[in-house]
A = this chain, B = another copy of it.
Amino acid sequence: MRDEDLQEMRQLPLFDGVGAAYVESLLRSAFVQRFPAHVELVHEGDPADFLYVIVQGQVEIYASYRDRETTISVLGPGNSFIIAAVLLDRVYLKSARGLTPTRILMLPAEAVRDGFAEDAHFARALAVDMALAYRGVVKELKNQKLRSSLERLANWLIAEDEKGGSTGKLEIPYDKKVLASRLGMAPEVLSRSIAALIPYKVDIRGRHVQLNDREALLSLARPVPTIDDPAC
């Protein structure tokens, strides 16, 4: 790994609170890899050889069954994925592909497992990361089982707006069909749901979104912390 890469990797949230010397030794067995957009980084069912950490770009985590496919989440820089499979030395449950060109830090699974045993701070960082990811899926499962498509979209818009500082103005960060799959609906249903939000003063053109009546949208979406608050 090049020096400037090393410099960058040390900053990753996964290494927060981990001793510099230990991070160094972990990174020695790791490498950074660039991938073009749309290539599959990880395939569901394969043994977990690496822990992946996104340095640059967007990664879609998805799963397939028969001829169907659904996206579980879309991750960005700083996020790691497939922690649980690496820790347990099992098979990946999800696949991953870049939505954009990506730069990815790849940590050999064995080094990660060893690290868990050898360095208590790293173990904690891994566990925290995993716990957050775990809670994320639980929230998503609740989102799926307890809400209609329209409610999911409305809540997604509010959450996305809050990420950007609640300006009422935001950009959908990927294709609408990816968003549809993330939200658990067919692309056609997303189109219609978007149209159904016009009375709530939601204005979506292409990827540009304007929320012109936050109150109205909130009364439809009714977000709750235990599903929607990322800090919860």
Interface positions of A (Cβ within 8 A of B): 44-45, 63-66, 68, 70, 72, 83-85, 87-88, 90-94, 116-117, 120, 123-124, 126-128, 130-135, 137-142, 144-147, 184, 222, 224-227, 232
**With a CB–CB cut-off of 8 A, which chain B residues contact A64?**
146
**With a CB–CB cut-off of 8 A, which chain B residues contact A224?**
65
Pick the contact of A184: B63, B66, B137, B145 (CB < 8 A). Answer: B145
How far is it, in angstroms, between the C-alpha of A137 and the C-alpha of B140 when the chains are bound?
10
Pick the contact of A65: B63, B70, B85, B227 (CB < 8 A). Answer: B227
**With a CB–CB cut-off of 8 A, which chain B residues contact A145?**
63, 70, 144, 184
**With a CB–CB cut-off of 8 A, which chain B residues contact A127?**
87, 116, 123, 126-127, 130
Q: Decide: A141 and B144 in contact? CB cutoff 8 A.
A: yes
**With a CB–CB cut-off of 8 A, which chain B residues contact A133?**
134
Q: Decide: B137 and A70 in contact? CB cutoff 8 A.
A: no
8 further interface pairs, Cβ-Cβ under 8 Å (given A85-B135, A126-B127, A145-B184): A65-B227, A84-B138, A87-B128, A88-B128, A91-B232, A93-B142, A93-B226, A134-B137
The minimal Cβ–Cβ distance linking A17 to chain B, given in whole angstroms, is 11
**Copies of chain A in the complex:** 2
Q: Decide: A135 and B93 in contact? CB cutoff 8 A.
A: yes
How far is it, in angstroms, between the C-alpha of A88 and the C-alpha of B222 when the chains are bound?
26
Q: Decide: A142 and B225 in contact? CB cutoff 8 A.
A: no
How far is it, in angstroms, between the C-alpha of A83 and the C-alpha of B130 when the chains are bound?
11
The minimal Cβ–Cβ distance linking A139 to chain B, given in whole angstroms, is 7
Q: Offer 13 A-B interface pairs, CB within 8 angstroms, sorted by A.
A: A45-B225, A68-B146, A72-B142, A84-B134, A85-B135, A88-B135, A94-B138, A117-B120, A120-B120, A123-B124, A130-B130, A130-B134, A144-B145
How far is it, in angstroms, between the C-alpha of A145 and the C-alpha of B145 when the chains are bound?
9
**With a CB–CB cut-off of 8 A, which chain B residues contact A137?**
134, 137-138, 141
